[in-house]
Every structure is written in C-alpha cells, then in structure tokens.
Amino acid sequence: MKKTISHSLGVALYAVRVLGDYPECPQDNMLFMAGLLHDIGKVYIPTAILNKKDKLTEEEFRIIRMHPLMGAEMLNEMNYIYDIVEAVLHHHERWDGKGYPFGLKGQEIPLYSRILSVADAFDAMISDRPYKKAIPRNLALAELKANAGTQFDPYIIESFVGKVQPELSLSTDVCSYKEEVNWAQTTR
C-alpha cells in the first residue's frame, strides 16, 4: 500500500511539471488529482496479483487491465470531475493505439491521460517493484525517448525529458552512476 501511495504521488508530481508546456490545459490541480487517483481501480485487484513476482498469467493480466475502467467507474459514481475520470480511464492507452481499455490512438487520447502515461511509466521504471528492480533515471529517460511515437506522445516525451533531464545535475549524476553500477551488478 505504501508503494502505491508513493507511486501515485510521484506520478502526480511528474505530471504537473509537464503541464506548464500546455497552456490549453491550465488546471494543474486537476491533473495532480488525476495523478493521485490514476491507479485507484487497483483496490479491486487481488493483492496476490499486484504483488506477484513471477510473470502474470493471461487471466491475471486481463484482471490488471481492468483497473482503469474500474477506477473511472468508482470516480464517476463519486461525482468526480469528468476530466479526472477521463484521465484515469485512459492512462494506459498508447499513442499507436495498442493500449487499453479502448485502443485509442494519437490525439484521440485525452491530453491528461497522455501526460499521466509518461509520468506513470517513468515513476514505475525508477521504482522497485515486486517483479523488478528500479533502473537509473537516465536509463528511464532513454527508454521513454525510445518509445516516443509508439507508446507515448512524442511531444509530451520531449517536454518531459526537457524538464527532468536538466535535473540530473553533477550530484545527481553521481547518484545515477552509483544506481547504474548497482543495477548492472544485480542484473548479471
């Protein structure tokens, strides 16, 4: 539970940092709230599936893929603002249309959802999970860039990298280097 809360906060904070590049969406408090709530549907997912260290079965993956829909339904029943419900519902859609739950692509995906998707992936990559170790921030940024135009909106990736990469200052680079060395040693 603590990791879910920490992840949701990380997603919310990363998402809001990107929003400044999109003046047509000035509601940073709404995006922040959507970031906090993006995985709320996971409350319906059995803990054994969420914490599983091995590869998920097809059925388990099908259950996991339901969390955006279940979260949006929950928020809709609680009369949350439409933009937040929509952001939660579509945060696993992909730029190339291969995401879920509806296979939306490109501009069909709401802007808040496209931003959350990037923030969610970045925070997931730099965090330990039951099934994987965290990777260094610079490698996570490289992974985001490699998936621009397929998984992610390329303009949001450009904005996100432009905001986060400068923060990899000398002191952070040293920490990143240590993380990279530790990561490389644990993956051998």
**Cβ count near 91 (within 10 Å):** 31
pLDDT in tens, 149-168: 999 999 999 999 998 988 87
> Can you name the CATH fold of 2-186?
Hypothetical protein af1432 (1.10.3210)
Q: How far apart are CA 183 and CA 188, in angstroms?
A: 9
On whether the CB atoms of residues 7 and 39 are closer than 8 A, the answer is yes
Confidence of residue 187 (pLDDT cuts 50, 70, 90): low
Q: What is the pLDDT of residue 17?
A: 83
Task: Give residue limits of the domains in the chain.
Answer: 2-186
Identify the residue with better confidence: 184 or 150: 150
State the alpha helices, DSSP H only, in the chain: 2-19, 28-37, 47-50, 58-64, 67-77, 82-89, 111-125, 137-146, 154-164, 170-186
For 60, residues 6+ apart whose C-beta sits below 8 A from its C-beta are: 49, 52
pLDDT in tens, 54-111: 999 999 999 999 999 999 999 999 999 999 999 999 999 999 999 999 999 999 999 9
- As a whole number, mean pLDDT of residues 10-33 equals 78
172 has pLDDT over 60:
no
Per the listing, tokens 């860039």 go with 145
Q: What is the pLDDT of residue 173?
A: 45
Per the listing, tokens 């990363």 go with 14
Q: What is the pLDDT of residue 174?
A: 41
Q: What is the pLDDT of residue 131?
A: 82
Whole-prediction pTM: 0.85
24 has pLDDT over 70:
no
Q: How far apart are CA 84 and CA 38, in angstroms?
A: 9
Angle, CA 114 vertex, CA 111 and CA 118 arms, to 5°: 140
On whether the CB atoms of residues 95 and 114 are closer than 8 A, the answer is yes
Q: How far apart are CA 64 and CA 7, in angstroms?
A: 16
pLDDT in tens, 42-52: 999 999 999 99
